[in-house]
């Protein structure tokens, strides 16, 4: 039995891949109900290809919207450039989709997996033979393998690998999805140390994101949060004012700092890490979800061909670490361009395609 800790994109993708291969697994999620934050997600062709291996690519395409064009504007609304959305020959197109829709599809693909909500991890005692796990509710279990897919503040990582907190990378984000058709195509607006994205998701909804560069992070309490956001970005031209006007409920707006995880060890004994728990980085390149699904696909492949689960972990990390490291290093350049108020999407698209179009 394999235990998956965390019911985000990576954890659900792994559960779906394992059940398709007839590998028994159990998933625990600390939240008592299924929730998701951030509004929308962009899935580049490598992520869509990985969702094909999960078994839901066609359904995600039907629920989302192909990213046909990207407009770049300056703060005043002047057109800087316009490029087609990424479409990679032999791989596919880029899609945007509401995170709630993606979660529903992943849950549907996990039919047959035992899932326990409201179940937090308490302890792990692991060695080469397996893992004994204690849960916060007092229950216990024995597993051949434990996979930490529990996000950037992973309990599995803290207990078994590295207790150091994530590193802040000088970006603060506000993100949500609004029920309005605000733009005909993805629209990015640039200013020095500030950035706005307004992206159609299909079905009458739009993803909106605001990014602010700050060397020192700050908290932004829910009370009057939208009012403060309008003050910070109120000088941007259309479509930013329309997006800000649609923010009518503080609870739906997700605020957070961009952070990263840099660790060398993703597996030890009968424990492994996946997705943001292993290699979180700034969302600037919009690859976090895609990389998590890729992790899940590769780990499931290696588990299926291994004589016993723990022997698969070294091969899993060897296949995944170079790719995730490249994304992290490339992200630093993307952040630098954003902070200067520009982004060279043509160059960006070519370099991303050259690396990430390769089979995982």
Report DSSP letters for 297-351, one per residue: HHHHHHHHHSSSGGGGHHHHHHHHHHHHHHHHHHHHHHHHHHHTT---HHHHHHH
Q: How many CB atoms lie within 10 A of CB 354?
A: 10
Longest Cα–Cα distance in the chain = 62
The verdict on residue 322 lying in a domain is yes
Q: What is the pLDDT of residues 222-239, one digit of tens each?
A: 899 999 999 999 999 999
The verdict on residue 162 lying in a domain is yes
State the DSSP code for 252.
Answer: G
The verdict on residue 203 lying in a domain is no
| CA-to-CA dists, residue 209 to 38, 47, 60, 177, 353, angstroms | 9, 21, 21, 9, 24
> How far apart (Å, rounded) are the C-alpha atoms in residues 190 and 76?
9
Domain count, the chain: 1
When computed from its CA atoms, the radius of gyration of the chain, rounded to whole angstroms, is 20
- 């057109």: which residue's tokens? 79
The verdict on residue 134 lying in a domain is yes
Torsion of CA 147, 149, 154, 158, to 10 degrees: 20
Q: Pick out the chain residues at pLDDT < 50.
A: none
The verdict on residue 208 lying in a domain is no
pTM of the model as a whole: 0.94
* Residue span of the structural domain in which 131 resides: 2-166+259-356
Q: How many CB atoms lie within 10 A of CB 216?
A: 6
The verdict on residue 347 lying in a domain is yes
CA torsion sign for 273, 274, 276, 278 is: positive
CATH (domain of 101):
3.50.50.60
Torsion of CA 243, 247, 248, 254, to 10 degrees: 160
The verdict on residue 287 lying in a domain is yes
Q: What is the pLDDT of residues 260-285, one digit of tens each?
A: 999 988 998 899 999 999 999 999 88
CA torsion sign for 24, 29, 32, 34 is: negative
Task: Report residue 264 as tokens.
Answer: 């060398």
| End-to-end alpha carbon distance in the chain | 26
The verdict on residue 52 lying in a domain is yes
């Amino acid at each position: 039995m394999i235990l998956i800790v965390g019911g985000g994109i990576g954890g659900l993708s792994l559960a779906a891949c394992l059940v398709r291969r007839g590998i028994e697994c159990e998933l625990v999620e600390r939240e008592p109900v299924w929730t998701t934050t951030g509004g929308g997600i962009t899935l580049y062709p490598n992520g869509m290809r990985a969702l094909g291996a999960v078994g839901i690519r066609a359904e995600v395409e039907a629920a989302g919207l192909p990213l046909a064009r990207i407009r770049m504007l300056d703060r005043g609304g002047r057109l800087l450039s316009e490029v087609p959305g990424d479409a990679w020959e032999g791989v596919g197109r880029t899609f945007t989709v509401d995170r709630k829709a993606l979660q529903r599809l992943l849950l549907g693909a996990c039919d047959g997996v035992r899932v326990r909500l409201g179940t937090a991890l308490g302890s792990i005692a692991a060695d080469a033979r397996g893992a004994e796990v204690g849960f916060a509710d007092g229950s216990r279990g024995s597993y051949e393998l434990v996979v930490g897919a529990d996000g950037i503040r992973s309990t599995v990582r803290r207990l078994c690998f590295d207790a150091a907190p994530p590193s802040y990378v000088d970006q603060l984000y506000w993100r949500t999805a609004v029920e309005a058709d605000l733009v005909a195509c993805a629209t990015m607006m640039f200013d020095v140390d500030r950035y706005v994205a307004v992206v159609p998701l299909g079905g009458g909804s739009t993803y909106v994101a605001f990014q602010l560069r700050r060397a020192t992070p700050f908290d932004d309490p829910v009370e009057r949060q939208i009012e403060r956001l309008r003050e910070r970005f109120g000088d941007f031209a259309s479509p930013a004012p329309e997006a800000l006007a649609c923010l009518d409920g503080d609870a739906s707006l997700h605020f957070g700092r961009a952070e990263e995880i840099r660790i060398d060890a993703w597996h030890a004994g009968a424990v492994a890490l996946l997705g943001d728990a292993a290699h979180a980085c700034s969302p600037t390149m919009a690859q976090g979800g895609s990389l998590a699904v890729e992790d899940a696909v590769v780990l499931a492949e290696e588990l299926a061909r291994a004589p016993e689960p723990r022997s698969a972990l070294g091969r899993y990390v060897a296949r995944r670490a170079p790719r995730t490291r490249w994304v992290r290093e490339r992200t630093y350049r993307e952040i630098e361009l954003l902070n200067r108020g520009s982004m060279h999407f043509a160059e960006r698209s070519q370099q991303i395609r050259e690396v990430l179009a390769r089979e995982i």
